[in-house]
Structure 1
Amino acid sequence: MQDTYLHHNHQEKHLKSSELLTDIVIGMSDGLTVPFALAAGLSGAVSNTSLIVVAGIAEIAAGSIAMGLGGYLAGKTEQDHYNSELKIEYDEIETKTEVEKEEVRIFFREWGFSKELQDKAVEEICKDKDRWVEFMMKHELGLDKPDPKRASKSAFNIGLSYVMGGLIPLSPYFFVANSEDALKVSVGVTLICLFVFGYFKSKMTGVNPVIGGLKVMMIGAAAAAAAFAIAKVIDGK
């Protein structure tokens, strides 16, 4: 009875990362940092916030398209690679049947199966070519079948996350006329968002969330400070 109670109340705390989460992290991290640095750099050279808004929106549009396209190409590459390896595995099962069976047997041998169990497992798996190929793809090559819609989903998720992240540092420039005053507000808002973003990202990946949040915040601050300083030097002020 006690064992049953413990079993039902035991909760695994392992991270179950999703493709959506990965896309959001990629898009949001760049979306928060790059437009932030751009706006800071322009604030060091011009006082007109309307110019910064136009440049910022243009950058967000271009950046989201570029990031989304990168996600799409990555998804297509993953799918093309899987299909290529799948074709090779089917060919090898037909032309190198015994070699492929031995590879299955070696896998179970390394798991510590007895000779009898190895033979039974090989016989059972190799009855069905599709199941056999799927086994080889997963356990020999370490490849899981990708979602055929992964490329388009990734492009959308990354692009949208970039836009959402990019609008945060740019938003003060819509309401504050002086660029340096807008920059002060942008710095405060963006650094808080960077810390929160880094905190939850680190928490989900098992890293100390406070340290992770501070690292992300410092990276964003360093990029913006460098852009602002360079703009000041070039502008001669």
Structure 2
Amino acid sequence: MAAAEHGISVEPERKSLLSQHTEKHFTAGEIVRDIIIGVSDGLTVPFALAAGLSGANATSSIVLTAGIAEVAAGAISMGLGGYLAAKSETDNYRRELKREQEEIITMPETEAAEVAEILAQYGIEAHEYAPVVNALRKNPQAWLDFMMKFELGLEKPDPKRALYSAMTIAIAYILGGVVPLLPYMFIARASEAVVFSVIVTLVALLVFGYAKGYFTGNKPFRSALETALIGAIASAAAFGMAKAFNP
């Protein structure tokens, strides 16, 4: 027999259980994703550019100048791309929200049937989900939130998400891009600087790859090796092509 039939409220017990149990979930997924995008490209692209110019017998000053110009352009480009992507998500959410609002008003029976269908997919019987459907129909805002989340799979985006994404990606790109250029700031001969650039950047790629694997739930060591391998291939290809055309 249900607790309500005994005159016992389950609400205090529910609140008590929730207060005693605090779940720890990783909630910074979007920020980590932006950092990964920025640092990954920031390490790889200037690294390949510096290696290519070194292979073409350019001086350290030329490599450094070109590298800084590329980092600046890349940070702006990547940041703008992140901004537009996040803004697109926000615009899409608003369009779908407006459409769902109109459908709840103009065709409530159809929308209620969709709620029932969604709940039925979770194995809930008709006599069990009927009260839920009726309760949602009495609360239009909760009904709208339910449809956005469970029918369309859309979460309400942070209105500042686009700006934060652009800044995060751009800063991460700059931080990553500076690493392969550091040796050229202190070593005049590019042929010598490129050796140190390779060492420093591969170490940075290994550390970054490990951190990326750790935070994304993948195998950290495998992620580290894969990330370093990609950077090594890109720089080796650029260096080899430069040498081929400038023997």
* TM-score, L = length of structure 2: 0.88
1:101-137 deviations in Å (ceiling 9; x for gaps): 0111112222222323211101111212121111100
- The question of 1:175 aligning with 2:179 is answered no
Q: Partners of 1:170 and 1:201 in 2: how far apart?
A: 22
Query: Match of 1:100?
Result: 111
Q: Partners of 1:12 and 1:94 in 2: how far apart?
A: 37
Write out aligned runs for 1:78-117 (5 A).
78-117=89-128
Question: Counterpart amino acid of 1:83?
Answer: R
Query: Match of 1:210?
Result: 221
Query: Match of 1:144?
Result: 155
Cα distance change, pair 211–11 in 1 and its aligned pair in 2 (3 A):
farther
- Displacement of 1:47 in angstroms is 3.8
Q: Partners of 2:216 and 2:172 in 1: how far apart?
A: 19
- Displacement of 1:16 in angstroms is 4.6
Query: Match of 2:17?
Result: none
Question: Counterpart amino acid of 1:143?
Answer: L
Question: Counterpart amino acid of 2:36?
Answer: V
- The question of 1:161 aligning with 2:161 is answered no
What residue ranges of structure 2 are gaps of 5+ in the alignment?
1-20
Query: Match of 1:121?
Result: 132
Moved over 4 A (4+): 10-17
Cα distance change, pair 232–11 in 1 and its aligned pair in 2 (3 A):
farther
Query: Match of 1:7?
Result: none
Determine what percentage of the aligned residue pairs are the same residue: 51
* Mapped contact 1:15–1:205 kept (Cα < 8 A): no
Which of 201, 225, 229 is the aligned partner of 2:240?
229
Cα distance change, pair 12–210 in 1 and its aligned pair in 2 (3 A):
farther
What residue ranges of structure 1 are gaps of 5+ in the alignment?
1-9
Q: Partners of 1:113 and 1:226 in 2: how far apart?
A: 57
- The question of 1:64 aligning with 2:75 is answered yes
- The question of 1:130 aligning with 2:152 is answered no
SS in 2 for 1:111: coil
Q: Partners of 1:208 and 1:14 in 2: how far apart?
A: 19
- The question of 1:42 aligning with 2:53 is answered yes
Write out aligned runs for 1:180-191 (5 A).
180-191=191-202
